[in-house]
């Protein structure tokens, strides 16, 4: 039950109907939109919401077929009578709508797991390919009757074309002759009048041409003449046209007779087509307002987070205005909320939002709320908002309010949702406040649920002292003198009447006189409310900043802990690999030397044989030293790590001002074949020494460097640097290969929670490796559980800088956009 009769106009649901109708593609869908009504049955509401949620998933992920939703039911019912037949436009509408219907049914084949509700309804529809085949045989793709629709029609049109071609040639010849004689204009051409070919001739020459005048121009200066010699042929063509019309009528009558037995089976298909149009309109509208299918139960209660008025959401979209979401809770312990606050502070919008969203939900429409929100089901929704005064019915504003109150007390119960705006106004404040207080007590005794707005102080006192009734305040910034449009449950709000009057510019002496009349106690009560609101906002801001700082600190600590652990792991790995490489190289070198010595002994010091073995030994030496550059890089990195660690230990253990007395052992001078490090950290081999300079080989490059700038390194270090260079090259090649195949977006719909989280984790790891900073995760809307799980994980990942919904036109809440802090 809803009350009053114009309930939908009061909560602006009539505007919602209009928006839904715009998304419908045919009249059948608009008829269903006009028939939307509230349900109190949980299973019915669940079915409505599930089918809409399924279509929202279709719109996000797939291309839905079907462009024609023409209603063929009226003319199908008409041809039930023998002798009546379908006209050509009706035939076209029937063909296009049946094609859409069959395409939609094919779309749902085999998709019962993804779209169980819609697939179940589509499975009940019978299709008749014979009907569509007959239509294809009769109609062309241009919407005309085919020449081969019947052999008789083909013959008639063939004769017509033949005769028209002959007439066209003869008419062109006669026109040219008339132009040569000066009886017709040079620019004139053959025209058609009453279905017959004619020549336009100036009226002064119309008797020069033997024929029939069929028409004249508006000015009377031009006559349209059919030459006498082609009149007979035109008559024959006219007879063929009439014969063609009779044959087309016979074809249409025959087709209507053929499909008459199928009419009763075709009608349910059009009911389904209307249903699909209606559901897709609901889904598209829901996406436009960023709505979801919320959690709900049968109990008459509600818990809403981030609830938004859909019409305000659409009005503010694309503007600088911000829509402040609503948080409200109504249950058995907190049945009625009394909202107070300043004028134009959002009280009425809050009340209307509550009524509109609850009504939309019970009409089977997704609602624009946060994912954690929960809805209940009310058997009655009653509202008193606006002015219902009527001169004709002798109703004043207050009388209309009292009539509404009488009906609220009559119909109100624990399953009712009652919405009252400006409770008690319209009469003398003391008397109106007393009556309102008594009504409020009675509604509370009935255990009715509701939202009430008021400015009356006595109602605020009742709410603060009566179990089941709770105060609510629309917040106001008294520093900037502007409303915040934010509802806060648990305390009453101030009307800020004096502040608003002062802002508008009312004289100070008038405000002082008013303050004196109202009394010190009332002024202090209002002042205390403002102070409480100000202090609470201050401490909430402080608490919010502390939480943010703590979160950032935790992220930084976690990040540096991870980096330190990774550095320790890398150090151990480098040392382990270096030791293994050194042991391998040493074993190979020893083996080569032993083999060489044994072969020299076996060859009894043959010079040629010895020379050959020395060459082999030198080749093995060059192979072992080929990785010198990489070895040195790793050695340098290890030395830095050791220096850093030893520096830390020395700073902790060494006393201040202590100086090392350790003496360095003098080094031997550099010579040909030594490995040295250059100032740029590169490592090469000395080929030649020229006084104070040395010729250095760096791979295939030779360079000359001063001896004083060189530092001796071991052959092992040179090999390590070369090995590291090869390793880095392989790593760079692997990264380049991954970059070519990497995609910054994934689809996790249909996956289980753990599987989806693993996919997201792998995506972030690869993005960090490839330095990709923005990712997209397609999870769909559905119940919102998967989206919430993914976002909880993202909130704990220190690499994730921020995450949010995708733009509405690109997927909205069904896609999470991730920006990495790398």
> In terms of Cα–Cα distance, which of 267, 276, 188, 278 is closest to 225?
188
Nearest-angstrom CA–CA distance, 521 and 501: 20
d(CA 84, CA 79): 5
Residue ranges in 182-262 assigned as alpha helix (H): 231-259
Using CA atoms of 348, 352, 354, 360 in order, give the dihedral in degrees to the nearest 10. Answer: -170
Residue 388 has pLDDT above 70, yes or no: no
pLDDT of residue 416: 94
Q: Which two tokens stand for residue 469?
A: 């009734």
Q: How far apart are the first and last CA of the chain?
A: 57
344 Ramachandran zone, left/alpha/beta (phi>0; psi -120 to 50): left
CB neighbours of residue 500 within 10 Å: 18
Distances (CA, A) of 476 to 343, 347, 530, 535: 10, 12, 9, 13
Measured distance CA(228)–CA(85) in Å, rounded:
40
CA distance linking residue 321 with residue 319, whole number of Å: 5
In three-state secondary structure terms, 326 is strand
Q: Which pLDDT score is estimated for 694?
A: 84
Q: Indicate the average pLDDT of the chain.
A: 82
Q: Which residue has the higher pLDDT, 411 or 393?
A: 411
SS3 425: coil
Window from 513-527, 540-554, 564-578, 770-784 with minimum mean pLDDT? 513-527
Name the one residue in this structure whose structure tokens are 């104070």: 692
* Percentage above 90 pLDDT, the chain: 32
> How far is Cα of residue 438 from the mean position of the Cα atoms in its chain?
49
Taking only Cα atoms into account, the Rg of the chain, rounded to an integer number of angstroms, comes to 45
pLDDT at 600 over 90: no
Q: Read out DSSP for 780-814?
A: --TTSHHHHHHHHHHHH-TTEEEEEEPPGGGTGGG
| DSSP class per residue in 119-130 | HHHHTT----HH
**What are phi and psi for residue 367, nearest 5 degrees?**
-125, 150
Give the pLDDT confidence score for residue 637 in this predicted structure.
52
pLDDT band at 173 (very low <50, low <70, confident <90, very high): confident
In this predicted structure, what is the pLDDT of residue 621? 58
Whole-angstrom distance, CA of residue 9 vs CA of residue 14: 6
pLDDT bucket at 661, cuts 50 / 70 / 90? very low
CA distance 687 to 695: 6
Yes or no: say if 717 and 635 are a contact pair by the CB < 8 Å rule: yes
Bridge-partner residues for 697, per DSSP?
Answer: 685, 702
pLDDT in tens, 302-334: 999 999 999 999 998 888 888 889 999 999 999
554-569: average pLDDT: 78
453 CB contacts (<8 Å, ≥6 apart)?
338, 339, 340, 347, 348, 350, 351, 420, 421, 422, 423
Q: What angle do CA 618, 624, 629 make, to 5 degrees?
A: 120
| HEC string for 64-97 | CCCCCCCCCHHHHHHCCCCCCCCCHHHHHHHHHH
Give me the pLDDT at residue 235, please: 83
Beta bridge partners, 452, equal 338, 420
Task: Using DSSP bridges, classify how beta strands 468-477 and 334-340 pair: parallel, antiparallel or unpaired.
Answer: parallel
* Mean pLDDT value across residues 693-719: 77
Task: Provide the token pair at 356.
Answer: 């509109």
Write the DSSP string, 626-689: TTHHHHHHHHHHHHHHHHHHHHHHHHHHSPTT----PPPPPPPPP-TT-EEE-TTS-EEEEEEE
SS3 523: helix
The top-scoring range by mean pLDDT among 53-57, 238-242, 808-812 is 53-57
Distance CA 541, CA 548 (A): 11
- φ and ψ at residue 489, rounded to 5 degrees: -85, 140
Of the pLDDT bands very low, low, confident and very high (cuts 50, 70, 90), residue 195 is confident
Cβ contact 799:775 at 8 Å: no
Q: Measure the CA–CA gap between 422 and 401, rounded to whole angstroms.
A: 10
CB atoms within 10 A of CB 670: 16
550's CB contacts (< 8 A; 6+ apart) are none
Q: Residue with structure tokens 């605020």?
A: 460
Measure the CA–CA gap between 300 and 581, rounded to whole angstroms.
Answer: 74
Q: What is the pLDDT of residues 102-139, one digit of tens each?
A: 999 999 998 888 899 999 999 888 888 888 899 999 99
Task: Output the CA angle 754-760-764, nearest 5 degrees.
Answer: 145
Tell me which residue of 256, 242, 370, 218 sits closest to 304, measured CA to CA: 370
Q: Which residue has the higher pLDDT, 480 or 779?
A: 779
Q: pLDDT-based confidence at 663, cuts 50/70/90? A: very low
């Amino acid at each position: 039950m809803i009350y009053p009769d114009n309930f939908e106009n009061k909560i602006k649901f009539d505007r919602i109907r209009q928006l839904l109708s715009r998304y419908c593609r045919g009249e059948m869908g608009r008829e269903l939109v006009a028939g939307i009504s509230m349900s109190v049955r949980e299973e019915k509401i669940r079915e409505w919401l599930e089918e809409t949620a399924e279509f929202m998933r279709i719109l996000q992920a797939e291309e839905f077929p079907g462009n024609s939703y023409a209603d063929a039911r009226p003319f199908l019912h008409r041809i039930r009578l023998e002798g009546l037949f379908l006209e050509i436009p009706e035939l076209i509408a029937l063909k296009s709508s049946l094609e859409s219907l069959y395409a939609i049914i094919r779309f749902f084949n085999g998709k019962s797991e993804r779209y169980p509700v819609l697939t179940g309804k589509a499975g009940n529809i019978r299709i008749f390919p014979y009907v569509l085949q007959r239509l294809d045989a009769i109609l062309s793709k241009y919407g005309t009757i085919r020449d081969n629709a019947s052999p008789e029609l083909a013959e008639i049109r063939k004769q017509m074309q033949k005769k028209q071609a002959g007439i066209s040639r003869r008419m062109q010849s006669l026109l040219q002759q008339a132009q040569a004689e000066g009886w017709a204009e040079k620019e004139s051409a053959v025209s058609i009048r009453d279905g017959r070919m004619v020549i336009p001739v100036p009226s002064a020459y119309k008797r020069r041409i033997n024929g029939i005048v069929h028409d004249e121009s508006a000015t009377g200066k031009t006559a349209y003449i059919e030459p006498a010699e082609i009149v007979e042929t035109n008559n024959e063509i006219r007879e063929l046209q009439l014969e063609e019309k009779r044959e087309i009528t016979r074809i249409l009558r025959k087709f209507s007779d053929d499909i008459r037995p199928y009419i009763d089976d075709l009608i349910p298909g059009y009911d389904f087509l209307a249903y699909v149009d209606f559901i897709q309109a609901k889904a598209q509208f829901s996406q436009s307002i960023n709505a979801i299918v919320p959690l709900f139960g049968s109990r008459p209660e509600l818990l809403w987070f981030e609830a938004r008025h859909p019409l305000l959401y659409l009005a503010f979209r694309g503007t600088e205005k911000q829509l402040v979401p609503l948080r409200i809770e109504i249950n058995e312990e907190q049945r009625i909320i009394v909202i107070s606050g300043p004028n134009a502070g959002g009280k009425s919008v809050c009340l209307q939002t509550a009524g509109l969203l609850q009504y939309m939900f019970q009409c089977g429409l997704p609602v624009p709320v946060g994912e954690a929100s929960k809805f209940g089901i009310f058997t009655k929704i009653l509202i008193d908002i606006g002015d219902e005064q009527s001169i004709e019915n002798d109703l004043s504003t207050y009388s209309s309010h009292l009539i509404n109150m009488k009906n609220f007390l009559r119909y109100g119960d624990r399953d009712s949702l009652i919405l009252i705006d400006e409770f008690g106004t319209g009469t003398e404040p003391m008397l109106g406040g007393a009556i309102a207080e008594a009504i409020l007590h009675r509604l509370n005794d009935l255990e009715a649920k509701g939202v009430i707005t008021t400015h009356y102080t006595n109602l605020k006192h009742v709410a603060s002292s009566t179990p089941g009734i709770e105060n609510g305040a629309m917040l106001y910034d008294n520093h900037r003198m502007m409303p915040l449009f934010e509802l806060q449950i648990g305390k009453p709000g101030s009307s800020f009447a004096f502040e608003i009057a002062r802002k508008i510019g009312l004289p100070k002496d008038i405000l002082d006189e008013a303050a004196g009349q109202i009394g010190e106690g009332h002024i202090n009560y209002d002042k205390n409310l403002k102070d409480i609101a100000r202090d609470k906002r201050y401490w909430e801001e402080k608490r919010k900043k502390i939480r943010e700082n703590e979160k950032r600190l935790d992220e930084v600590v976690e990040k540096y802990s991870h980096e330190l652990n990774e550095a320790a792991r890398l150090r151990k790995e480098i040392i382990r690999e270096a030791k293994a490489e050194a042991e391998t190289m040493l074993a190979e070198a020893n083996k080569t030397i032993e083999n060489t010595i044994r072969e020299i002994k076996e060859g009894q010091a043959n010079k040629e044989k010895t020379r050959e073995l020395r060459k082999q030994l030198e080749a093995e030496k060059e192979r072992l030293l080929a990785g010198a550059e990489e070895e040195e890089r790793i050695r340098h990195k290890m030395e830095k790590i050791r220096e850093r660690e030893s520096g830390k230990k020395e700073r902790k253990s060494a006393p201040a001002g202590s100086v090392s007395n350790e003496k360095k052992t003098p080094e031997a001078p550099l010579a040909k074949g030594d490995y040295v490090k250059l100032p740029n950290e590169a490592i090469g081999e000395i080929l030649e020494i020229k006084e104070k300079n040395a010729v250095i080989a760096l791979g295939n490059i030779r360079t000359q460097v001063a001896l004083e700038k060189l530092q001796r390194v071991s052959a092992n270090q040179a090999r390590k640097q070369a090995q590291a260079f090869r390793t880095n090259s392989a790593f760079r090649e692997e990264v380049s290969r991954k970059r070519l195949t990497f995609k910054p977006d994934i689809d996790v719909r249909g996956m289980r929670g753990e599987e989806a989280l693993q996919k997201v984790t792998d995506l972030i790891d690869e993005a960090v490796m490839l330095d990709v900073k923005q990712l997209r995760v397609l999870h769909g809307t559905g119940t919102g559980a998967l989206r919430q799980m993914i976002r909880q994980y993202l909130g704990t990942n220190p690499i994730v800088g921020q995450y949010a919904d995708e733009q509405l036109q690109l997927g909205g809440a069904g896609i999470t956009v991730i920006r990495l802090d790398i």
